[in-house]
């Protein structure tokens, strides 16, 4: 809060970037917007923070300066997100007669369930159960962990920075879910000396969906106490597993009582929305949405989505996505200067909490200001500030309408850009929420780069001249969509291959899951792609998946984990809730 006054001062000064006498998209105005939105003083625009609120005020101030109609609550559509996670009262760990100290000897993982367990402990080495083409490794062979605490080494036996055969099995949550599937009542993780020389306990990350069992991180001192009867330390067993590349687990004959209490705190963030009303007596009741997400990763850190999670620093997100918002403001200014010529109405939205899983866009489509079926197209601007020398402009969603590709090529008839088109409507950004409502989408980006999701995505690396050209192209697209005699013809164009940075799977169901839910009661299906396995098996939009392959699904993480275990050709049972009743589906992969 101590930087609030300087930020508000910057806000008041920078709102003077409105130039009604020059509504064109200019490098100068783009730089002015970036100077505010990607400023260190906004501290990475993490949802629910002061920086997020100031960015929202800045955007709304410009919308008002362009004399737009403010939607919702004076331009703000507020919604709640989980902003932080912290340890509650009563976290405890007792071995024998020894009570350990929270924060010094142990801590809870942010995805831990809140529960207590008193049981014996079983050491399961690295916690793997791998059957691969080139090797097998089963730490659970000959071990009975049902109803017990499972002690697991973090990481993997190959200690190098390059991907290994173990890489996709090493995530803490993946190991914990496997232990739960084996019947464990709780998990105790420990870092070997080769994994973390300092033996630091995991911090409470901002937000993660929760497991059903307690998951704790213990120090090596506590682990050595649990392994005392063997006469060996946890470091010795780490070295043994690393050298022999073999399971080293056993039952140390120790009992543990532990309780985990993890609290999640909700915060408010918002979408910012304004309207330019069209003039055609009929078409003015149809809408084009132009959107860009305004949030970023804050200060980074573990669990934030940063690609350098060990570094706490401002992640300014100049390209991701201050560039999209800056262009959104310039487009709003230019189109407002021609408002009397518009036929359809145009809604401009700066979405919140995209980095948390397109939460703002999903909330908007679930609570629209007008009938969602009256939205005829959506343009999404995400990372449009790094146009390369080859002038490639990526456009997703080109298969979601029959007319899209021809229209885009016609608008590029002077070959300003090398258009890189992809037909899929589903993707890792806000347009996916609109596509799931059968709305044609256009997802524009100048592409990823090495500064993506790092503290180095700064305003001085933006290609402002390229942004002007992208902006003029988007303006032409928006104008064409607004003035078409007849709206676009929607077509299904579902996922083709893997999106974003998620793990690659051997199979896909062909659905778009709900990324926004935090209630841990299953996973809602937001879209089912025609002729894909889920569609052929009878799954419907709105179904809530509660089990996959006879194993429970409480949230998106459990769904992804279960999916990663399936194989092509497998017939899998999927239990769903449909209209409050359970349905069992058989899906051929």
Q: Where are the domains of the chain?
A: 4-83+266-483, 89-260, 511-588
- How much is the pLDDT for 165? 78
**Do 359 and 81 touch, CB atoms closer than 8 A?**
yes
| Segments in 193-349 forming alpha helices (H) | 220-226, 234-244, 324-336
Q: Under DSSP, is residue 228 helix (H, G, I), strand (E, B) or coil?
A: helix
Smallest CA-to-CA distance from 209 within 303, 295, 298 is with 303
Q: 511-588 has which CATH code?
A: 2.30.42.10
- How much is the pLDDT for 2? 39
Smallest CA-to-CA distance from 295 within 255, 264, 267 is with 267
CA 189/CA 199 separation, integer angstroms:
12
Q: How much is the pTM?
A: 0.80
**What is the residue-wise DSSP string for 137-157?**
EETTTT---TTSEEEEESS-S
The H or E element that residue 249 is part of is: none
Strands (E), 299-351: 345-351
555 DSSP 8-state letter: S
Q: What are phi and psi of 405, to 5 degrees?
A: -60, -45
Q: Under DSSP, is residue 583 helix (H, G, I), strand (E, B) or coil?
A: strand
**Do 227 and 123 touch, CB atoms closer than 8 A?**
yes
Which residues is 346 bridged to in the sheet?
A: 276, 288
**Do 367 and 271 touch, CB atoms closer than 8 A?**
no
- How much is the pLDDT for 146? 96
CA 55/CA 35 separation, integer angstroms:
11
- How much is the pLDDT for 503? 43
Smallest CA-to-CA distance from 68 within 77, 55, 56, 59 is with 59
- Reading the chain (589 residues) residue by residue, the pLDDT tens digits are 334 445 554 544 444 456 656 899 999 999 999 999 999 999 999 999 999 999 999 999 999 999 999 999 999 999 999 888 889 999 999 999 999 999 999 999 999 999 999 999 999 999 999 987 778 999 999 999 999 999 999 999 987 665 677 878 888 999 999 999 999 999 999 999 999 999 999 988 666 788 999 999 999 999 999 999 999 999 999 999 999 989 999 999 999 999 999 998 889 999 999 999 999 999 999 999 999 999 999 999 877 888 888 788 999 999 999 999 999 999 999 999 999 999 999 999 999 999 988 999 999 999 999 999 999 999 999 999 999 999 999 999 999 999 999 999 999 998 899 999 999 998 889 999 999 899 999 999 999 999 999 999 999 999 999 999 999 999 999 999 999 999 999 998 865 333 333 444 678 898 888 776 667 889 999 888 888 899 999 999 999 999 999 999 998 888 988 998 888 889 999 999 999 999 999 999 9
**What is the residue-wise DSSP string for 104-133?**
TTEEE-TT---EEEEEEEEE-TT--EEE-S
The H or E element that residue 443 is part of is: strand 441-445
Do the domains spanning 89-260 and 511-588 agree at the CATH topology level?
no
Dihedral sign, Cα of residue 95, residue 99, residue 101, residue 107: positive
The domain 4-83+266-483 is placed in CATH, from the list 3.40.640.10, 2.40.50.100, 3.40.630.10, 3.40.50.1100, at 3.40.630.10
Q: 89-260 has which CATH code?
A: 3.50.30.30
Structure tokens at 215: 């998951």
The H or E element that residue 369 is part of is: none
């Amino acid at each position: 809060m101590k930087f609030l006054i300087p930020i508000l001062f910057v806000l008041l000064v920078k709102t003077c970037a409105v130039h009604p006498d020059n509504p064109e998209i200019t490098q100068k105005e783009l730089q002015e917007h970036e100077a505010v939105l990607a400023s260190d003083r906004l501290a990475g625009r993490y949802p629910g923070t002061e920086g997020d609120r100031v960015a929202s005020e800045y955007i709304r101030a410009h919308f008002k300066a362009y004399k737009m109609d403010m939607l919702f609550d004076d331009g703000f559509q507020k919604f709640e997100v989980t902003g932080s996670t912290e340890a509650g009262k009563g976290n405890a760990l007792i071995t024998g007669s020894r009570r350990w100290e929270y924060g010094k000897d142990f801590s809870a993982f942010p995805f831990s369930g809140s529960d207590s367990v008193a049981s014996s402990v079983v050491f399961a080495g690295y916690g793997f159960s791998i059957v691969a083409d080139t090797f097998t490794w089963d730490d659970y062979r000959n071990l009975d962990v049902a109803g017990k605490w499972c002690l697991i080494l973090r990481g993997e036996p190959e200690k190098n920075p390059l991907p290994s055969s173990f890489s996709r099995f090493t995530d803490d949550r993946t190991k914990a879910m496997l232990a739960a599937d084996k019947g464990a009542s709780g998990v105790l993780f420990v870092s070997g000396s080769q994994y973390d020389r300092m033996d630091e306990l995991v911090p409470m990350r901002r937000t993660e969906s929760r497991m059903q069992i307690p998951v704790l991180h213990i120090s090596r001192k506590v682990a050595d106490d649990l392994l005392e009867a063997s006469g060996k330390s946890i470091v010795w067993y780490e070295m043994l597993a690393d050298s022999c590349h073999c399971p080293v687990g056993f039952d140390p004959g120790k009992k543990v009582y532990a309780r985990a209490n993890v609290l999640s705190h909700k915060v408010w963030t918002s979408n910012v929305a304004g309207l330019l009303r069209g003039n055609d007596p009929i078409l003015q009741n149809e809408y084009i949405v132009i959107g860009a997400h305004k949030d970023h990763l804050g200060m980074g850190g573990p669990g934030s989505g940063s690609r350098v999670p060990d570094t706490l620093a401002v992640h300014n997100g100049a390209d991701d996505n201050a560039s999209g918002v800056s262009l959104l403001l310039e487009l709003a200014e230019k189109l407002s200067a021609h408002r009397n010529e518009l036929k359809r109405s145009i809604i401009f939205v700066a979405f919140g909490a995209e980095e948390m899983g397109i939460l703002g866009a999903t909330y908007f489509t679930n609570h629209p200001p007008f009938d969602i079926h009256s939205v005829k197209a959506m343009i999404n601007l995400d990372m449009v500030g790094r146009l390369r020398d080859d002038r490639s402009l990526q456009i997703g969603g080109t298969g979601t309408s029959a007319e899209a590709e021809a229209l885009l090529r016609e608008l590029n008839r002077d070959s300003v850009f090398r258009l890189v088109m992809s037909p899929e409507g589903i993707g890792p950004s806000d347009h996916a929420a609109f596509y799931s409502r059968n709305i044609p989408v256009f997802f524009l980006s100048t592409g990823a780069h090495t500064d993506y999701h790092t503290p180095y995505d700064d305003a001085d690396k933006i290609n402002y001249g390229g942004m002007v050209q992208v902006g003029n192209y988007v303006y032409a697209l928006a104008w064409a969509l607004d003035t078409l005699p007849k709206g676009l013809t929607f077509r299904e164009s579902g996922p083709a291959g893997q999106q974003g940075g998620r793990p690659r799977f051997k199979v896909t169901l062909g659905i778009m899951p709900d990324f926004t839910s935090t209630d841990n009661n299953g996973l809602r299906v937001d879209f089912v792609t025609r002729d894909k396995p889920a569609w052929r098996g009878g799954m419907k939009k709105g179904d809530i998946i509660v089990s996959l392959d006879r194993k429970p699904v409480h949230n998106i993480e459990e769904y992804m984990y279960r999916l990663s275990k399936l194989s092509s050709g497998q017939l899998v049972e999927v239990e769903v809730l449909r209209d409050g009743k359970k349905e069992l589906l058989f899906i051929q992969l």
